[in-house]
Amino acid sequence: MFDLKAALNEISRYNSYISDIRREVQLYEQLYCFSASTDILNRNLTPVFSIIQKSMFISILTRISAVFDSKSFGSDNNLSLDFLEHKYREFASEALLSEFNELKGFYRKLNIKNYRNKLIAHNDLATVFGESSVSHTIKDGDIMSLLKSTHKFCINLCKCLPGGIETVLSVEPWQLKPGDDGLELLRRLQAGK
């Protein structure tokens, strides 16, 4: 028997992960993707901010890999896009299944999983020493676009569920508030406070 409350709880929790990653991406972009920002960081503890940049990038790629992971690992289910699509496929429209395939295709095109596996998770010897190579194809805005589209998929999935259209999906605001974000950190660095 279909349990709408459990389904919405799973989708809401998944969307919460997406929102959390979006905030991290927003902060990363504010700190490291604009020349004005990098100018400020380069004048203030450059080695420290380089470590933070690398850590944030690894975190973002690892977390994106997790939310796009396979539906299960052995007998353990993963709360991933594949899991949601598989579990609720019977309720999904053709348009929603097409949206799922486009999302998976976009994720594969960015080559995040292979990059993460070779250089972050496993330190592939041949890749580390340059005998083989791997790179991602992420460009400005790609990660945020992927995450926005994934959020939209979750909303559309809720609309397909029996009784789901009448229920509001609980989602945390994804944006950092002005004054509590990377731009505020940069302002304080520049002001010396």
Rounded CA-CA distance 155/176 in Å is 21
- Give pLDDT, residue 192: 81
The ranges of the chain with pLDDT < 50 are: 170
- Give pLDDT, residue 167: 52
- Give pLDDT, residue 173: 66
Instruction: Spell out the residues 6+ positions from residue 101 whose beta carbon is closer than 8 angstroms to its own.
Output: none
Look up the pTM and report it. Answer: 0.88
- Give pLDDT, residue 191: 87
Residue 87 is encoded by which pair of tokens? 């579990």
Other residues' Cβ atoms within 10 Å of the Cβ of residue 109: 13
> Is-contact 134 86, C-beta < 8 A?
no
- Give pLDDT, residue 84: 97
- Give pLDDT, residue 178: 87
The secondary element (H helix, E strand) that includes residue 39 is: helix 35-42
Task: Name residue 154's amino acid.
Answer: C
- Give pLDDT, residue 180: 86
Express each pLDDT in 93-120 by its tens digit.
999 999 999 999 999 999 999 999 998 8
